[in-house]
Amino acid sequence: MTGTFTTRTINIATGATETMHDLTNACSAFLREVAHGRNGLLNVFTPHATSGLAIIETGAGSDDDLLAALREILPADDRWRARHGRPGHGSDHVLPALVPPHATLPVVNGELELGASQSVVLVNSNRESPERQVRLSFLG
């Protein structure tokens, strides 16, 4: 039995501030359209050098805590060797080493199999790029 592979790119307006954008509904809508009740894997990927993907609780403060922790770990100052862009932009380029640009998630009976309170989020610290792309790919 051979599996099917379906992929789509979605555009996300992230604005001019550091942000986390919840992708869970977009992932679920994509799977409703393409998975047809099958089991498989959903890969979520952002092709940017300054953003990443996280599985985290949102709305209860954890999302704000993650952004605060990233500001503490990766301060936007002049210590970074990457010097293009605004001062401190080099820290944005280190973000994907801590918050990877990909996530692979189980799909069971056509639905995203997340734990209680888990969400799929795009983490973007780059205030110079107000638009991001995310590729959703289902293999099942």
Q: Give the whole-angstrom CA distance, residue 104 versus residue 136.
A: 10
pLDDT for 112 beyond 70: yes
Please write the tens of the pLDDT for every residue from 17-67.
889 999 999 999 999 999 999 999 999 999 999 999 999 999 899 999 999
Query: 40 near 108, Cβ under 8 Å?
Result: no
Tell me how crowded residue 129 is: count the other CB atoms within 10 A of its CB. 16
Segments of 14-69 assigned E as strands: 19-22, 40-45, 51-56
pLDDT for 103 beyond 90: yes
Tell me how crowded residue 93 is: count the other CB atoms within 10 A of its CB. 18
pLDDT for 2 beyond 90: no
Q: H or E stretch including 13?
A: strand 5-13
Name, in order, each residue with C-beta under 8 angstroms of 9's C-beta and a sequence gap of 6 or more: 133, 134, 135, 136
The count of domains in the chain is 1
Angle (CA) 70 60 116, round 5°: 105
CATH code for the domain in which residue 9 is found: 2.60.120.460
pTM confidence score = 0.92
Q: Give the whole-angstrom CA distance, residue 132 versus residue 11.
A: 6
Its domain, for residue 120, covers: 5-139
Q: Give the whole-angstrom CA distance, residue 59 versus residue 104.
A: 23
pLDDT at 83: 66
111-112 β-sheet, strand order: 5-13, 131-139, 40-45, 102-108, 111-112
pLDDT for 126 beyond 90: no
| Average pLDDT estimate for 115-136 | 93
Please write the tens of the pLDDT for every residue from 3-31.
899 999 999 999 888 899 999 999 999 99
| 137 φ, ψ (degrees, to nearest 5) | -135, 130
| Average pLDDT estimate for 81-101 | 83
pLDDT at 1: 45
